[in-house]
Amino acid sequence: MKLQKILERLQKLHPKEIDLSLDRIKKLCSKLGNPQDNLNCIQVAGTNGKYSTIQSLRAILKESGIKCNIFTSPHIQKINERFVYNDKEIEDNDLTALLNEVEEINSGEEITYFEILTAAFFYGCKKYYKNPTICEFGLFARLDAVNILKKNLATIITTIGLDHLDWLPKNEKTIEKIIFEKTSSLLNSKIIVSKQTNKEILEKIKKSLSHNQSKKVFFNDLYSYSMGENNFFYYEDEYGGLKLPMPNLNGNFQLSNVTAAIATLRNIEEFNISDDNIKKGITKINSIARIQEIKKGKLKDLCKNNKLFVDGSHNPLGAMVLNEFLNSLSNNIHIVLGMMNNKDHNEYISYFKKISSLTTIDIPNQANAIKGSILKDKLKEFPNTKYKKTIEEAIKSISLKKNDIVLITGSLYLAGEVLNLN
């Protein structure tokens, strides 16, 4: 309860949920002694794949005996997930104490919820400043609260696509603008750019980064991968080639995230990552709500012998790679869909070409989610769409046959509700 009360107070420090600016967090971090200046940080930007890339980094570092600090957003099940220190998620009492101290130092100054959480994370790193710290860029990198570092070890750019367009001016809702926001203000260190969906986007990224003096490691220029046989793939960069086992992640598209992590760690010499660390690490990646199979629990029991997956994808790029995974299966797919109001609902669902049934639902505890009944009426491409109020009702309403699969998708917030409910 103490933790919940302080979180409620922090949410009231600014009238807006998001107000893109770096002034407020710089002011608070100055009061905190600028803890971010002492960090050895890997920053991760992009539209999709950030979380999987971060978890790949973490797994390889852990296999190498290197503990790290990690800051990600949003959380899936509980806010503690955003605060990982010394390779452990912070406990409630420690998080409460940390946030109380930062709140007191802030002295009621106006600051957004995300900004004060970011400042608190940096402040909490003081005890573990010698660890590598992995930070995810949020909405847009240029004015994201994480973007107040003066130095870093490297920046990773994952796949970039259209998302969060409601935060852009009407005449700037373009891929060019998103690439500018995510890449134009990166630090001069090392920049690793993962595989993109097409050559045009890659060339736009290269153009945006042309002024940056960092060593740039582009996929297919300085590193690459290819599929092998018998559950192996081949990785190659300027330091040599590796035959690697497939990672424990669903979907071959995840190889772009895993190999970006590998390329990054092999370009940071002080880590001294061995080939064996990489081989073992990528088979131990812990990635939740990314095509995650739920193998037991309350919701799984409703599916009986049928497989149940949950995925937090919520934009066209996520839908595209999720559909690639579904197309690799020979099963009938039943989708349960819940989305936030500000997403392009029709474009998201248009990527799924192999659906046996579609059921829309309400996302619990999310005021900014679209009502499932309204979502159903919007999806005219799927005239037989059903609406059910709850996740349980949706699963129970599906006529499942042997080997059919249930997939719950459309939002990270929904994924969190699914995992908590299960």
pLDDT of 406 > 90? The answer is yes
- Residue 417 inside a domain? The answer is yes
- Residue 173 inside a domain? The answer is yes
Say whether both 273 and 329 belong to one domain: no
Say whether both 214 and 314 belong to one domain: no
Say whether both 115 and 261 belong to one domain: yes
Residues 6+ apart with CB under 8 A from 21: 143
The structural domain count of the chain equals 2
Q: Residue 74, preceding bond cis, omega within 30 degrees?
A: yes
| Residue 60 banded pLDDT, cuts 50, 70, 90 | very high
The alpha carbon of 37 is separated from its chain's Cα centroid by a whole number of angstroms, namely 24
- The DSSP bridge partners found for residue 408 are 310, 336
Find where tokens 């309860």 sit.
1
The pLDDT value given to residue 383? 78
| Residue 34 banded pLDDT, cuts 50, 70, 90 | very high
Q: How far apart are CA 103 and CA 52, in angstroms?
A: 31
Q: What is the CATH number of the domain that holds 105?
A: 3.40.1190.10
Say whether both 116 and 231 belong to one domain: yes
Handedness of CA 31, 35, 38, 44 (dihedral sign): negative
Say whether both 403 and 319 belong to one domain: yes
Tokens of 341: 């109001």
Say whether both 231 and 352 belong to one domain: no
Spatial contact of 145 and 22, defined as CB atoms under 8 Å apart: yes
- Residue 286 inside a domain? The answer is no
Say whether both 326 and 186 belong to one domain: no
| Residue 37 banded pLDDT, cuts 50, 70, 90 | very high
Which H or E run includes 420? helix 412-421
End of a domain among 281, 314, 344?
281
The domain in which residue 230 lies consists of 2-281
Say whether both 257 and 366 belong to one domain: no
Tokens of 349: 């669902």
Average pLDDT, the chain: 93
pLDDT tens string 45-54: 998 899 999 9
Alpha-carbon separation of residue 6 from 268, 280, 352 (angstroms):
38, 40, 41
Q: How far apart are CA 382 and CA 361, in angstroms?
A: 15
- Residue 196 inside a domain? The answer is yes
The pLDDT value given to residue 181? 84
- Residue 117 inside a domain? The answer is yes
Say whether both 235 and 325 belong to one domain: no
pLDDT of 165 > 60? The answer is no
pLDDT tens string 89-118: 999 999 999 999 999 999 999 999 999 999
End of a domain among 281, 311, 345?
281
Per-residue buried b or exposed e for 208-220, using 16+ beta carbons within 10 Å of the residue's own CB: bbeebebebbbbe
- Residue 147 inside a domain? The answer is yes
Q: What is the CATH number of the domain that holds 339?
A: 3.90.190.20
Q: How far apart are CA 315 and CA 319, in angstroms?
A: 6
Say whether both 181 and 302 belong to one domain: no
pLDDT of 20 > 70? The answer is yes
The pLDDT value given to residue 139? 63
| Residue 336 banded pLDDT, cuts 50, 70, 90 | very high
Tally the residues of the chain: 422
Tokens of 407: 């997939």
- Residue 413 inside a domain? The answer is yes
381 versus 350: which is more confidently predicted? 350
Q: How far apart are CA 319 and CA 104, in angstroms?
A: 43
Spatial contact of 52 and 44, defined as CB atoms under 8 Å apart: no
End of a domain among 262, 281, 300?
281
Say whether both 175 and 310 belong to one domain: no
Q: Concatenated DSSP letters for 185-206?
A: T--SSEEEE---SSHHHHHHHH
Q: How far apart are CA 276 and CA 338, in angstroms?
A: 41
Q: What strands, in cross-sheet order, belong to the sheet with 240-245? A: 223-227, 232-237, 240-245
Say whether both 330 and 199 belong to one domain: no
pLDDT tens string 121-161: 999 999 999 999 999 986 666 778 899 999 999 999 999 87
The pLDDT value given to residue 76? 94
Give percent above pLDDT 70 in the chain: 97
Mean pLDDT of 290-309: 96
Q: Three-class SS of residue 368?
A: coil
The pLDDT value given to residue 43? 97
Tokens of 152: 């870093």
pLDDT tens string 174-195: 888 888 888 988 999 999 999 9
- Residue 287 inside a domain? The answer is no
